[in-house]
Structure 1
């Protein structure tokens, strides 16, 4: 679903206005996203328990189409509670969420978002004593000392599943993927207090609330990372969260931009 915001126009906006009217608004269906439409979106978000920003993103559109917020979908209260517990701003948490997974923890087919890392699979197999050289030679898209080979979306599940099958180590495939709305790597399961990689996977598959809990555990377990998030030292945070290659993907720049946007939105709504 496309994000609809101030200045957008066309049939998608007309459809949005019709859905908002069906939910109780009184908009002129003209296909233009102006102040009245933004106010109606914000009012709906407030009423349904979503984050209030006046922007009709994928979650707002999904809830409008369904008529209610699915259980387990993150809402304003969830993010506020997490921000208070970690003593960070809500805008900072939303920035991490956006940069890591485009703001959602699940694929359209209902499965948790994952990104399989073939170089991590190589590392985990090597540590487990597997014949990693032979596996890498035969399955370089799944097991490789170099990062890459991404397929994106639902295809990442196929990569993860295949890596577990061909290697004979399905738990290591879980460990070699990042999971959910905050893209936490599976190999952190023990440090974060999960009983097994399978329990970690189940928590990530359960709900966005479960994914947020995993994120909070991850941040709370790393004082340096927590301090960087609190003080919005984005380069330091990106280095700790995404690894030393963060700069190549401009994670720190993306985080800073997303934070400023969300902070500005919060100020505008409050005003």
Structure 2
């Protein structure tokens, strides 16, 4: 598994990164220190390659340096489009993507990242008229009054596959999808023709996953207004729920925005 490298890291992986960047035109000293110079070189390469230019050398950036071009990955152009749709600065979108996304939107096997919610599945099945008591007894890990039973990674797709045998639509609606973990049951509210169409979009690219997230924000006037006003505590509360304080989402959003906004100003000054 590729190790994500960022400012402050040291060691052989950083030397390998610096060497790869030098092959792309950077002129870094191979000192194994991920300092300002290396970070700047990473951002310059990311912009050149059309990637999200956050200065963090994650799996996507390192794969592109090795010549692997995966169109499923989020692109800088996707964030530019999102900023226009939301009528906010690019720095705001970068901050939102950095803090609110779950990183990779796809698993190593190419499938979209999902998390199956058994308590949601129970609710959807009940609404569809299924015999809940029988299903709860037979499939407690799939149909339950409480959240849990998570297997993680590709094993979540195995849970989903079993749930689809009971009720396909309810199963797809009961999973959260992609980097921004949008629940399937939002499909109609977000303007998709069906939950199947939503899932197809989430399986296409991280750009489509970001599009769903943008639709989610636009569908919530209070959330959209908070984002436009950069009221980060309100953004965090509306998107993450009351627990946002425990995870410092508002502080992370504010700091990420300030950093990206300062970088944008520096570019303009140059």
User: With structure 1 as the length reference, what TM-score do the two structures score?
Assistant: 0.87
Q: What's the counterpart of residue 126 of structure 1?
A: 126
State the distance in 2 between where 1:140 and 1:251 align.
30
Residue 218 of structure 1, aligned match among 216, 219, 234: 216
Aligned: 1:228 with 2:239? no
The number of residues matched between the two structures is 265
Quickly say closer, same or farther: Cα 1:186–1:45, change in 2 above 3 A: same
Quickly say closer, same or farther: Cα 1:159–1:133, change in 2 above 3 A: same
Secondary structure of 2:28's match?
Answer: coil
Aligned: 1:141 with 2:141? yes
Q: What's the counterpart of residue 151 of structure 1?
A: 151
Q: What's the counterpart of residue 58 of structure 2?
A: 57
Aligned: 1:46 with 2:47? yes
Q: Is the 8 A contact 1:235 1:252 kept in 2?
A: no
Secondary structure of 2:88's match?
Answer: coil
Quickly say closer, same or farther: Cα 1:92–1:126, change in 2 above 3 A: farther
State the distance in 2 between where 1:124 and 1:235 align.
32
User: With structure 2 as the length reference, what TM-score do the two structures score?
Assistant: 0.88
Q: What's the counterpart of residue 207 of structure 1?
A: 205
Residue 186 of structure 1, aligned match among 160, 184, 187: 184
Deviations 1:12-71 (A, max 9, x none): 111111211222223232322123322221221121112323221232222222354x32
Deviations 1:129-163 (A, max 9, x none): 11112212222221111112222222221121122
Q: Is the 8 A contact 2:75 2:207 kept in 1?
A: no
Secondary structure of 1:42's match?
Answer: helix
Q: What's the counterpart of residue 11 of structure 1?
A: 12
Quickly say closer, same or farther: Cα 1:98–1:176, change in 2 above 3 A: farther
Gaps of 5+ in 1: none
Secondary structure of 1:178's match?
Answer: strand
Quickly say closer, same or farther: Cα 1:67–1:36, change in 2 above 3 A: farther
Q: What's the counterpart of residue 175 of structure 1?
A: 173
